[in-house]
Amino acid sequence: MKKILLITTAVFSLSTYSADLLPSCHNWNDGSSDTVKAAIAAATAENKKAAKVGFEWRDTVKFIKKATKLSATPCNSSALTMANMAKAQALDAQKQAKDQANAGPSF
């Protein structure tokens, strides 16, 4: 009985310790702590698509740079917000390019 108690305590304390190694922003669903990095990568990829069609917006790269700078601090929620804003801009820019495919005079 003593043995079982000892093992259970050991396992419990070890698991608590290992959990402490992960940042509080760790995503238990996908097992990743790099949510911000993933968001920055996604924003960068989408912005490249917007640039390729010639409709990149002025501030998107600024947002990506800011997100990258903020991501140096772990679990900085502003970094994620900034990266998501950049991605949203890039997607809107791509939509704008499609909408303007037949742009022309209205008179």
Partner 1 sequence: MKKNITIIALAALLGSSVAIAAQQSAQVQADIDAFQNHFKAKFPEMDLDDFSKGPYSMNEDKLMQFENIMEMPPFEDSLDKGEQLWNTAFKNGKTYSSCFNGPVEKIRTQFPRWNAEAGKVENLEAMINKCRTDNGEKKIGWKKGKMAFISAYLTTAATGEEINVIVPEGDEKALAAYNKGKKFFYSKRGQLNLSCANCHIDSVGKKIRGDILSPALGQITHFPVWRGKWMRKKGNGFGTIQRRYGGCNKQVRAKPFKVHKDEYTNLEFFHTVMSNGMEISGTEYRQ
- Where on the chain is the footprint of partner 1 (CB under 8 A)? 51, 54-61, 89, 92, 96, 99-100, 103-107
The residue (of 2 and 98) whose beta carbon lies closer to partner 1 is: 98
The residue (of 31 and 105) whose beta carbon lies closer to partner 1 is: 105
Rounded Cα distance, 68 and 76, in Å: 11
The residue (of 30 and 99) whose beta carbon lies closer to partner 1 is: 99
Please, what is the minimum distance in Å from the beta carbon of residue 91 to partner 1?
13
Please, what is the minimum distance in Å from the beta carbon of residue 35 to partner 1?
25
Contacts of 76 (CB under 8 A, 6+ apart): 36, 70
CA distances from 74 to 35, 61, 68, 77 (A): 11, 21, 11, 9
The alpha carbon of residue 93 and the mean position of all alpha carbons in its chain are separated, in whole angstroms, by 19
